[in-house]
Amino acid sequence: MIPRTIFSPDHEAFRDTVKRFIEEHVTPFHAEWEKAGQVPRSLWKKAGELGLLCVNVPEEYGGLGADFLYSAILIEEMARVGATGPTFYLHSDIVAPYIVDFGTEEQKRKWLPKMATGEVVVALGMSEPSGGSDVQNIRTQAIRDGDEYVINGQKVFITNGHSADLLLLACKTDPKQKAKGVSLILVETKREGFTRGRKLEKIGCKAQDTSELFFADLRVPVSNLLGTEGGGFAVLMTQLAQERLIQAIRGVAASEAALEWTRAYAADRKMFGQTLADFQNTRFTLAGLHAEVLAQRVFVDRCMELHLQGKLDPVDAASCKLVATDLQFKVMDQCLQFFGGWGYMWEYPIARAFADARMCRIGGGTAEVMKQIIANSLLPKVRKD
């Protein structure tokens, strides 16, 4: 196995803490959370106590001021055990950076320390029933009325939506504009006019809290605007490379875990007087998958290295996300086949991993959107005026 060189001894010490946290507080209870469709708030607070939330947030705002690799370790270790319920990465590595980079001093001091302790859980409100990836054409509106915005509309597929105390909500402050009409507004979920819909039943990621959200004449002060009015789309673009890298990190770690589960099962499963691992088809299939996952691991690690340097190109991030999540689904499909009927049973990790992997080709931008981004860089369209 090619050694990984991007992690320091301090990173690995943090990994040990993460593994203990998962062994003690996540894996024994994840099946219960799948039935509930949600992880308990106590888990968020326990993660906060151990310093696992918002690790990249500056210390003055309650974080550890650590680099992205610490976040990557938590993402990897959760993926290795199929723990899709605790969506700490969305809270810490997607929403928190927007507040750090674009929030006012008051917003940072009000929200970031509570996010780091797990006292406040946040969600990102982007997707709507009319479309997920097309943020320019969202319909939820925030119309200014004096010193307030009045918000009307709805969101769907919102991770952490049922648990969230705070939403980073994408709205149209100028419905006549496309990208330049999008603004980001911090919305407290205790406000009058906000209601949660049902917890959505998904084919996978069942412990992950995913909800519909509704807004009816909900009022927030103008001071809740994140960044500038009409600048929301540009703000969202600043974190897309990291969001896509997160999905790639999850994908390759989950693939590595599935290969190990399958190797161990094949070595033990008796068939026709030998083990499943003795058949050439098993050996060749797993050998091919191992080689592909190893190549993807090297690519993902290199992208993480570039991201630390601030040099990860959005097109490369899209490429990384595309191939990692495509390969993840391929690995889960082919590995599940070796388990036969047991692979179709929910009690087996490979069954849950198969269902969970399908989401990764959608979340963080669909595979088709990734291809469009890559294609635009390779084959720029000629405008016809």
Q: Which percentage of the chain shows pLDDT scores above 90?
A: 94
pLDDT in tens, 78-97: 999 999 999 999 999 999 99
CATH assignment of the domain containing 360: 1.20.140.10
The DSSP secondary structure of 225-293, one letter per residue, reads EESSTT-HHHHHHTTHHHHHHHHHHHHHHHHHHHHHHHHHHHHH-EETTEEGGGSHHHHHHHHHHHHHH
pLDDT in tens, 248-302: 999 999 999 999 999 999 999 999 999 999 999 999 999 999 999 999 999 999 9
Say if pTM beats, i.e. exceeds, 0.85: yes
Does residue 384 carry a pLDDT above 80? no
Report the number of distinct structural domains present in the chain.
3
Higher pLDDT, 380 or 57: 57
C-alpha to C-alpha distance for 264 and 261, rounded to whole angstroms: 5
Does residue 382 carry a pLDDT above 90? no
Does residue 385 carry a pLDDT above 60? no
Q: Are residues 198 and 93 in the same domain?
A: no
Q: Which percentage of the chain shows pLDDT scores above 70?
A: 98
Q: Are residues 114 and 127 in the same domain?
A: no
Does residue 128 carry a pLDDT above 80? yes
Q: Are residues 106 and 144 in the same domain?
A: no
Amino acid identity, position 154: Q
Does residue 336 carry a pLDDT above 60? yes
Q: Are residues 249 and 268 in the same domain?
A: yes
Whole-number pLDDT of residue 45:
98
Given 199, 230, 261, the domain boundary residue is 230
C-alpha to C-alpha distance for 106 and 109, rounded to whole angstroms: 5
Q: Are residues 141 and 45 in the same domain?
A: no
Check: CB of residue 73 under 8 Å from CB of residue 55. Answer: no
pLDDT in tens, 161-219: 999 999 999 999 999 999 999 999 999 999 999 999 999 999 999 999 999 999 999 99
Whole-number pLDDT of residue 52:
98
- Domain assignment present for residue 384? The answer is no
CATH assignment of the domain containing 49: 1.10.540.10
Q: Are residues 116 and 132 in the same domain?
A: no
Q: Are residues 129 and 110 in the same domain?
A: no
First CA to last CA across the chain, in angstroms?
54
CATH assignment of the domain containing 137: 2.40.110.10
Amino acid identity, position 254: A
Residue 136's pLDDT band (boundaries 50, 70, 90)? confident
Q: Are residues 196 and 114 in the same domain?
A: no
Q: Are residues 165 and 179 in the same domain?
A: yes
Nearest to 126 by CA among 157, 105, 85: 157
Q: Which domain holds residue 325?
A: 239-378
- Domain assignment present for residue 3? The answer is no
- Domain assignment present for residue 150? The answer is yes
Q: Which residues have a catalytic role annotated? A: 243
Given 99, 120, 141, the domain boundary residue is 120
Check: CB of residue 199 under 8 Å from CB of residue 209. Answer: yes
